[in-house]
Amino acid sequence: MLAGSTTVQRFRALQDLGYEMMSVTTVSAGARRTQPSLMTRVRGKLLGQHDQTHANQAILAAIQQHAFDLAWIDKGLTIEPGTLRAIRNLQPQCRIVGFSPDDMMNPCNQSANFLLALPVYHVYVTTKSYNVSELRQLGCIEPVFIENGYDPHTHRPMRVTPVERTALGGSVGFVGQWEPERAASLRGVALAGVAARVWGYTWERMTHVPPSLRLENRPLWGDDYARAISAFDINLCFLRKCNRDLQTTRTVEIPACGGFMLAERTAEHLGLFEEGREAEFFSSPEELLAKTRYYLQHPEPRQRIARAGYARCQRSGYSYRDRLQRVLQDVLHDE
């Protein structure tokens, strides 16, 4: 499992819930965290993604040697339907649960194996509410929606020194990959004279970068990610348009780190955090700029909202442990 991957965070949550885990990796250590090429997507969609880590073989060996109550497949694009059928045949008591944090109707997130294996899962868990009906149309027996979670081992308030604030933070920050809509929003903020800083992959694609916008062109993981959120006065939360996001992992990670979040306004965001009390939201470039300027000039309400957002994460059970516990209570007792 790749460092910084949310798969690792869910694995740890299952351990925290008391499950004895055996892991099989489906992604090679050298895999790039960038959008795959067109040819890679076409090959994966038509022929099936290549199982570079021999995950199918490892799963088949494991089920022949051990008894399992649960097979958790985290976005298993290389997992073959025959592998899942073998689990069902050899261990009928084992519940097969798939999970993806991405929009699985986006061709970039699909593979031939995924599409063929969907009907074999007992349950498929998605963080995209609109995917539930779409997965069912593709043959999924029981698609289940859960909202995004955070990992308390990673996402927590960090005490930031002045040196760390200089190294990682600033007035306004965003951590995430380049997308044209995100670049346009940040360009507008920076052209208005607001200093902003961006961490993440592929930002070299951005053109006409204003002087007040600093592009770091590398990602942040683990403690550095949490420190950066703690080191920014305002953390922007943009949604991924190619995933049709209504919420994203940052939606809960930023408040869980004690950061002030200014996010795109959606119904799901408003259901997770109360606007003006636990987070702030915007629906237009003008509103984004106005709220950015206001909260940079008013640290007291900004800090009060950040504290309330953190408290909401704790009170409402937004951690992966809490999210997965509720799902598995239904899955493992639904015979």
pLDDT at residue 195, as a whole number: 97
pLDDT at residue 335, as a whole number: 53
Half-sphere exposure of 210 (CA within 13 A, CB side): 18
Helix H, strand E, coil C: the string for 111-124 is: CHHHHHHHHHCCEE
Q: Where are the domains of the chain?
A: 6-149+319-332, 162-315
pLDDT at residue 29, as a whole number: 62
Q: pLDDT digit of tens for each residue in the chain (335 aa)? A: 455 689 999 999 999 999 999 999 887 665 544 444 444 444 444 445 678 899 999 999 999 999 999 999 998 999 999 999 999 999 999 999 999 999 999 998 999 999 999 999 999 999 999 999 999 999 999 999 999 999 999 999 999 999 999 999 999 999 999 999 999 999 999 999 999 999 999 999 999 999 999 999 999 999 999 999 999 999 999 999 989 999 999 999 999 999 999 999 999 999 999 999 999 999 999 999 999 999 999 999 999 999 999 999 999 999 999 999 999 988 877 65
Task: Please tell me the pTM assigned to this model.
Answer: 0.91
- Topology of domain 6-149+319-332 in CATH is Rossmann fold (3.40.50)
Burial of 191 (0-12, 13-18, 19+ CB in 10 A): middle
pLDDT at residue 5, as a whole number: 82
Residue 96: strand, helix, or coil:
strand
pLDDT at residue 49, as a whole number: 63
- H helix intervals, 91-206: 112-117, 131-137, 162-168, 180-191
pLDDT at residue 26, as a whole number: 83
Q: β-strand 232-237 against 170-175: which pairing, if any? A: parallel
DSSP string, 228-286: HHHHEEEEEE---GGGT-SS-HHHHHHHHTT--EEEE--HHHHHHS-BTTTBEEESSHH
Q: Print burial letters for 260-273: b (CB count within 10 Å at least 16), e (below 16).
A: bbbbbebebbeebb
pLDDT at residue 164, as a whole number: 97
* Domains 6-149+319-332 and 162-315 agree in fold: yes
In CATH, the architecture of 162-315 is: 3-Layer(aba) Sandwich (3.40)
Residue 235 and residue 253 in contact, taking contact as beta carbons nearer than 8 Å: no
* Tokens describing residue 88: 């069902």
Residue whose token pair is 């991957």 = 5
pLDDT at residue 97, as a whole number: 97
Residues whose CB is less than 8 angstroms from the CB of residue 317 and which lie 6 or more positions away in sequence, other chains included: 323, 326
Question: What interhelical angle do 285-297 and 299-315 show, nearest 10?
Answer: 110
Chain centroid to CA 54: how far?
A: 25
